[in-house]
Amino acid sequence: MNSTRVSLSVISSLLIGSSAVADVLPNVQKESSWYADAKTAVINKTQQTTTTKAKNVILFVGDGMGVSTLTAARILEGQLQGKSGEEGYLSFEKFPYSAQVKTYNVDAQTPDSAGTMTAMMSGVKTDAGVIGVSEKIERGNCATVAGNELITAIEIAEIKGLSTGVVSTARITHATPAATYAKSADRNWEDVSDMPSTAVQQGCEDIASQLVNFEKNLEMRFPGINVDGLEVVMGGGRRHFLPKDASHNSADARSSVEGDRTDGRNLTAEWQAMYPNGKYVMDQAGFDAIDAATTERVFGLFNESHMQYEADRENDISGEPSLSEMTAKAIDVLDNNDKGYMLVIESGRIDHGHHAGSAYNALTDTIEFAKAVKAAVDSTDPEETLILVTADHSHVFTIAGYPKRGNPILGKVVNIGKTDPAMAADGMPYTTLGYTNGLGFRNLQTETDADASYNDAPLTGRQDLTTVNTNTSGYHQEAMIPAGSETHAGEDISLHAMGPGAHLTQGVIEQSVVFHIISKSLGLIENQ
């Protein structure tokens, strides 16, 4: 595949420690109208207020965390503390600046995570289902990738000499985290077994392999630069790094053969050979043993697939760290670099809870996400660290009826001044929370794994909830339209900011502007 080259003068400026990176942007990126328009939007805001440069940037992404999710999670968090709930705030909702973000993909009114995260990471909106490449490519066609690769904020931060990290509760090869480091014609190419043979023959590299080869690939794209690779990688998805051979199973493997790779490669072993001073961990004990003050880098894969929902985490075989624990540890490792760092943290399972039709799991993961943001705020200096909190898209998740103040957010609607549930026109009670589409009603009682919903066919339409306790962890809300999985929604999501450059977060913006806020604050691109 073609590599992007930079001039000797640029290489020289990088090697002598230039404060900003000039011309590493591929032409396809610089010439993109998405990139130019988003850059202009940030420049216009910069002219209004003097920008204080950030030393560090932390980008939090609550996957699927739309505004209705924020509202419901805020209320649930308060009610779990014995309050009415409505008066509260999630930690980041008190940040001084916020904006509404338009999430559509180039080819989709309602987006997917690959296209939305690519926009945030590169400043370029692109098609649904593709990662780190422009809209000029054809999804699933490896031959169209060359020349259309975009460079991400994480990659530019590496070139600048900052430490970098990616953390997710989803598989680390899943669309949102992958968009920080990978270039792929299809988000589903998580390992070589997921790829068509033609793509492999044409030289496209699977996403897991790209993660392990991040340092090498970046140096090949820009001959003459010298980077040291990602310092922190933590999430799920071990199956994509291990060969399809039971002898390579991890201690907490759930499948008889944990690995999926058909090329015989053990990427965890390859990573350890590349970084002999690094720590590869796969459980809570290994995580707890990491000494952040002396550890050079961490590679944590805590589950065969996605990490557990927060509510289900105690049921993990070998134990998993929480998102807030991973956040605090990542910061402690990355801040060993005096030049600064860039860290991307995703709560991936908010999205999965919604897809399964479980408000309980989506909301409890959102509450943990807010705790992770607070952990970051508590661990950093607000004078030198820009913290951005956003989502990639929303869900068809609704808050309906006229429940009275303090009514249990997971409960049935009880009107103002009443004690009994309100009745719909069909003579049956209904819940405040619901979904437009999806698998629909489930009464799984004390189940804490939302994915158990997929064991049965969709059961949509109205159900008699008179004797059903809808406040339990296993209750899944009714849905109107049957579907194998609840879908994303297309409305705007929110962006919250504090720290140097936070004032750039205002108004209604395109999702591609997020990259330019990061770039302006960190000084990633000259003349930005």
Q: Which positions make up the binding site?
A: 63, 174, 176, 346, 351, 355, 392-393, 488
CB atoms within 10 A of CB 399: 17
Distance CA 496, CA 519 (A): 17
Distance CA 323, CA 346 (A): 9
Residue 113: active-site member: yes
Q: Which of 365, 361, 286 is nearest to 318 (CA)?
A: 286
Sort 326 into a burial class: Cβ within 10 Å, 0-12 / 13-18 / 19+: buried
In angstroms, what CA-CA distances link 240 with 355, 458, 511? 22, 30, 29
Distance CA 517, CA 512 (A): 9
Distance CA 471, CA 46 (A): 47
Strands 493-498 and 97-102: antiparallel
Task: For tokens 């898209």, name the residue.
Answer: 393
Catalytic one of 32, 91, 113, 168: 113
Residue 262 CA to chain centroid, in angstroms?
Answer: 27
In angstroms, what CA-CA distances link 310 with 95, 288, 329, 361? 24, 18, 18, 8
DSSP string, 311-362: GGGGG-SS----HHHHHHHHHHHHTT-TT-EEEEEEETHHHHHHHTT-HHHH
Residues contributing to the annotated binding site for Zn(2+): 63, 351, 355, 392-393, 488
Biggest alpha carbon–alpha carbon distance for the chain: 76
Strand runs labelled E in 63-196: 97-102, 163-171
Residue ranges of alpha helices (H) inside 49-112 are 67-80
The amino acid occupying position 468 is: V
Active site residues: 113
